[in-house]
Amino acid sequence: MAASGIRVFSGTSNPDLARGIAAYLELSLGAIDVFRFADGEIGVRIEESVRGEDVFVVQPTCPPASETLMELLVIIDAVRRASAARITAVIPYFGYARQDRKMKPREPISAKLVANLLTTAGAHRVLTLDLHAGQLWGFFDIPLDHLPGRMILGDYFRRLSLENVVVVSPDIGGVKRAREFAEYLRAPLAIIDKRRDRPNQVAEVVHVIGKVYRRTAILVDDIIDTGGTLAMGAEALMRRGVRDVYACCTHAILSPLAAARILRSPIRQLVVTDSIPVPPEKRTEKVTVISVAGLLGEAIRRVHADQSVSELFGQPPRTMQPAAEGE
């Protein structure tokens, strides 16, 4: 049955995902015109009435992050001025999330600034997927619903029926995420201790903590950017006698050369979601893309009905659809 009283609008960063969410809800996407003025400024026109409606704006703030973020803010402002009753920013990938603390003097905390901008623009709620760090929840002065990627990625690996599995965190910072994934799969946990001097620099593996010999390893991360961390982690695991290496992440940024780096690595399969669009040139034979449209669609239905979103976490495995080519 179609969800009544809900309007779903999409920005330009991932319209295929937005269409999948709308299809899950048995709705059509809201009519919106997003355009650029001659000087490059972003313009938005909402082409249907949203007065008194519960509006969900789907826009991951993926690269180019500043463009997609500004577009999201302008859309929210347009919907607010059109008298929507409630506005939820559906941000499957939350850009600027890795700028969540001051590492050196005179640096910004950009993630907090983005949270403030969303509130100022007029968002009443945020729905997101696999935030990079737990402290990001505290940056928002409006309700935030957070969906863990393990619900989709874990179900996929359950269906593969792999034997003698060990879940591996590629760094110390991802231990909590990997531990939750390991508990979901009822598998042991191992940790790669690495050293990196600066962001986007390929790390040096110092030690592997845990029993990995002759096991099937699943490297778990939230974001793949350059691919260097996973590739080096996979090589380190193979040197320590791992039988096979799989990898998964929620947000596949896959910066230039990342796909080739993964292709050359010992990783047998990399499983990602379509929280960020993965174009055909990045979809090598090792990359599998799973859609999160159904998960986000069900969360939207529950938010609209003022039902619990966290109850989704205890649901049995879902039937997953592969993401369509070009998403």
Residues with a catalytic annotation lie at 194
Q: Is 215 assigned to a binding site?
A: no
Q: Is 196 assigned to a binding site?
A: yes
Q: Is 106 assigned to a binding site?
A: no
Tell me the CA distances in angstroms from 75 to 5, 9, 88, 151, 164, one per residue in order: 19, 9, 11, 29, 48
Q: Is 174 assigned to a binding site?
A: no
Closest CA to 203 of 165, 234, 249: 234
How many Cα atoms occupy the beta-carbon half-sphere of 286 within 13 Å?
A: 19
Q: Is 210 assigned to a binding site?
A: no
Q: Is 41 assigned to a binding site?
A: yes
Q: Is 100 assigned to a binding site?
A: no
Q: Which residue has the tokens 């789907």?
A: 58
Q: Is 244 assigned to a binding site?
A: no
Q: Is 228 assigned to a binding site?
A: yes
Dist CA 21 CA 23 (whole Å): 5
Strands (E) across the chain are located at: 6-10, 32-36, 42-46, 54-58, 86-91, 125-129, 144-147, 165-169, 189-195, 204-209, 216-224, 244-252, 269-273, 287-290
Q: Is 98 assigned to a binding site?
A: yes
Q: Is 132 assigned to a binding site?
A: yes
Q: Is 225 assigned to a binding site?
A: yes
Q: Which long-range contacts does 41-48 make (Cβ < 8 Å, 24+ apart)?
A: 42/67, 42/70, 42/71, 42/74, 43/74, 44/71, 44/74, 44/75, 44/78, 45/78, 46/9, 46/78, 46/79, 46/82, 48/7
Sign of CA dihedral 232, 235, 237, 242: positive
Q: Is 302 assigned to a binding site?
A: no
CB 249 within 8 A of CB 223: yes
Positions at the binding site: 39-41, 98-99, 132, 171, 196, 221, 225-229
Positions at the binding site for D-ribose 5-phosphate: 196, 221, 225-229
Positions at the binding site for ATP: 39-41, 98-99
Positions at the binding site for Mg(2+): 132, 171
